[in-house]
Structure 1
Amino acid sequence: MKRFPLPLLLALMIPSGSAWAVDDISKVNGSITAETGQAYGDLETVNGNIKVGAGATTHSIETVNGSIAVDEGARTGSVSTVNGRIVIGPRVIAGGNLETVNGSIFTDRGSQIEGSIETVNGGIGLVETRLRNSITTVNGDITVGVGSQVEGGIHVEKPSFSISLSAPRPPRVIIGPRASVAGELRFEREVVLYVHRTASIGPVTGAEPVPFDTDTAPTH
C-alpha cells in the first residue's frame, strides 16, 4: 500500500477556501466579546475589556487598559494586558503566555497553560491547573493551589526601585495540597514561603520553606 507523508495527508484533510478562515477583531477604544462557541482570530484593543465566551476559540488576546475573562472550555493563544486582571475559567486551554503588569491572574480547575504566567504588581492564583512553564512576579503573591502542576519553576524578582518610606510587605508564596513545582523556586527578595506537606517542589534559593498541613496556609 502506498504511504503518503503526514503533511500531505493533513493538507488533503483540510478543505480549501474560506470555510476555515477566522476574522481578527482590532479596536482602539471599546470592549470586545467573543461569542460562545464561535471561532475568531486575534482579539486586540487598547482601551477596553475582552471577554471570551464558553467554548469559543481565538488566537492571541491583547489589551492595554482593560481586563480579560476567558470562560469555560474556551481555547486561546497568548493572553496579555498591561493594566487589568486576567481570569481563566475551568477547562480552558491557552496556547501561550499569560501576562499582565498591574493586575492579577487566576486560572480555574482543569485548565492548561502552554506557556508561562507573569505579573509585576499583581497576585497569581492557580487551582487544579497545569502550567507547562514557569511563574514570575516582582510584587505579587503566588498561590499554586490544590492539585496544580507547575512544570517550570517560580521566580520572584528583586524590584528595580522603590519609593516607599516603609519596608514593603514580603510576597506570600503558597504551594498547596497535592500541588507540584518541578523547577527551581528562586527568590531575589524576601518572601514568606508556605509548602503543604503533601506538595512536591524543586530546589529553593533565597527562602526557607514553612510546612503546613491544613487546608489553607497560615495567615500570619
Structure 2
Amino acid sequence: MQRTILRDLLVLLGVFGLIWLVFSLFSYPEDPQLISIHKEEKLGEVYVDLILLNPVFGEFDNSRVDSAVRVIADRLEEGLEDSEYNYHFVVFDSEMINAFTVPGGNILISTGLLAFCDTPEELAAVIAHEMGHVEERHVVSRLIKELGIEILTSGDQYVIGEVSDLLTSTSFDRKQEEEADLFAAKLLETASIEPRSLATLFRKLGRRWTMN
C-alpha cells in the first residue's frame, strides 16, 4: 500500500515537473513584434494618464519649458530614419533626477533632471538615450518578459497598475542600456549635436550617485 502511494506520488511529481518544463521552454520570448506599434501606442496612452495620477509624478505646467524640450526633441527626431513612432514628451514636477520611457513613444522627464543638465546638449543626450529604448522596443520586451503578452494586453486594472509600477521603477538590463547608448551617440552625431555630451552627462551622474 505504501509503495503504491509512493509510486503514485512520484508519478504526480513527474507530471508536474514535465508541465513546468514545457511552460519554461515554450514561454513567450521577449519579442516586441508580438505587439503592434498601434497596440503599443494605445497601451501607452493608458499608462501615461495613470502614472500622472500619482502625486510623485505631478505634471509640470510650463509652456516655456515644454517648448524648450520640444525644440531639442524635434531636432533629434529629424535625425531618425523611418521611425514608426509619434513621440510625446511630458515634463513632470519632481526633484528626483529621472527620465523614463512609456510604451508608444512617450518619454517622461523630471524637472529635477532638467535642472541637473547644465547644457541643452546634455538634455539632448538624455532624450536621445530614451529614444533608443523606444526605437529598440526595449520597454515592450521588458513588459512581455515580466508579465507575458496575454496579461499585458488584458486590460485588467490590477495588471495596469502593475505595469505602471514596472515602468517607473524597473531598470533595463546592461545589453539594452548599451544599445540605447549606442543609438543615442549615433543620433546625436546625425543631429549635429556633440555626442560626447552623453559621456559628460554619465560622468556627472556617476559622481552624483557616488556622493549620495
- For normalisation by structure 1, the TM-score amounts to 0.25
- For normalisation by structure 2, the TM-score amounts to 0.25
Q: Which has the larger radius of gyration?
A: 2
Which structure carries more strand by proportion? 1
Q: Bigger relative contact order, structure 1 or 2, given CA contacts below 8 A and separation 6+?
A: 2
Which structure carries more helix by proportion? 2
